[in-house]
Amino acid sequence: MTDPTTLGFLGLLVLLILIALRMPIGYAMILVGGVGITLLNGPALMLNQLKTLAYGQFSVYDLSVIPMFVLMGALATKAGFSQQLFRFTNAWLGWMRGGTAMAGIAACAGFGAVSGSSLATASTMGKVALPELRRYRYSGALATGSLAAGGVLGILIPPSVVLIIYAIIVEANIVTMFMAAFIPGILAVIFFLLTIAIYVLIVPEAGPAGGSKDRAEFLSATLGVIPVLVIFGLVLGGIYGGLYNPTPAAAVGVFLVWLFGTAQRRLSFGAIRESLMETASTTGMIFLILLGAELMKIYMSRIGLPQAAASWIGTSGLEPMTVLILLLLALILLGCLMDSLSMILLVIPFFWPVLVELNGGLYQGAEGSGFGMSTNELKIWFGILALIVVELGLITPPVGMNVFVISALSKDTPMMETFKGVMPFFAAEIIRVVLILVFPAIVLWLPRYLAG
């Protein structure tokens, strides 16, 4: 009989082959997990799982936040909030050298806080900012590279759907994860702005200064962003302030986006209908991947692959920090091949038991021998690190998905130019990862402060 560990690796290999053959990852995981469970324990167990698993998965209250935040992002896109954000940031930053690219980064951060999706942020802000960057004759590398990199901010700056999914997988508190992501998210924006400043200092012709705005235009741009600031403040402020948990916060956000969009006559009945259809499609895709991931988790647990991996690494003699760095490198490589949500659902159930084992086992509260923190804090720290390196996968050659999105919008810029343009931002992200590895308090200080 084939060794269970070998069966597990064969299952993962088949899964990767199916993904490479362009099978949707949700179907691929359902197929591999379902066939694996059937081969191990017979069709009766598999049929019994299908009878109860879907309802057990999708009736979890925490998951109700996903369609609400997806709908909020869809409505915000249709309501033109991306244009308002870019007008505002460009009015404040566009006058300086490289300022229009900086405005694109700042607008990406703002829109990411509303939409929670990296690909949506890159696509939407690309359509808004690229014409302005072309108008001021920015180099193709800086224009497309900055927007591709800016798009990755949507995955970490709260509210983030991927962050919510991670919290559900490792049973972390969603609000705590939002708190932990705040400072690293702000740090990313600062690093990206500094990257552009250094870039145009070295290559001045890459980012010419834009024209200054007159008082009327400046005032109009500033007033136009008020709805976004109100929504951001009431949604995240309410969560951080303990007024409501993420699901009611998302509902408040949806209502406010609808209210402002309708009041400004930007949300027609057709736009609302399209947003609802987009939300249904995206949520269905996410839930299908969740079902497939659960089947894969059951299959791998029954053959003991996560436990075997944790045991092997625990006896390998490798330092915990070395193992963590290797896991993060693996996430960067996988990020070149699949989208962030699929990757988190696929690999976190394998990586997390390894880190728990290295940290001294499952316990609460006390400091462990591995990373010097409790399991709860390890969940938070590793989650932020994982999402940052997943971001890196979105701009890493040769298959950075954000680069493909921006290249599709800027057909006159060769893709190699875009990849060249994202490399300085890639370096900035590596610096951020190193800082968080060396100083975990960057992630943990705010949750500790607000909890104490």
- What confidence tens digit (pLDDT) does each residue in 286-311 have? 888 888 888 888 887 777 766 676 66
Average pLDDT, the chain: 83
The mean per-residue pLDDT over the stretch 368-385 comes to 84
pLDDT of residue 180: 92
pLDDT of residue 307: 66
pLDDT digits (tens, 9 = 90+) for 105-139: 998 888 877 766 677 778 788 888 888 888 888 88
Poorest-pLDDT segment among 143-147, 173-177, 223-227, 333-337: 333-337
Which pLDDT band holds residue 364 (cuts at 50, 70, 90)? Answer: very low
Which pLDDT band holds residue 441 (cuts at 50, 70, 90)? Answer: very high
The mean per-residue pLDDT over the stretch 78-103 comes to 86
The mean per-residue pLDDT over the stretch 334-341 comes to 72
The mean per-residue pLDDT over the stretch 185-190 comes to 92
pLDDT of residue 117: 67
Domain coordinates of the chain in residue numbers? 1-59+291-303, 62-281
pLDDT of residue 116: 65
pTM of the model: 0.84
Cα–Cα distance measured from residue 422 to residue 379, given in angstroms and rounded to the nearest whole number: 29
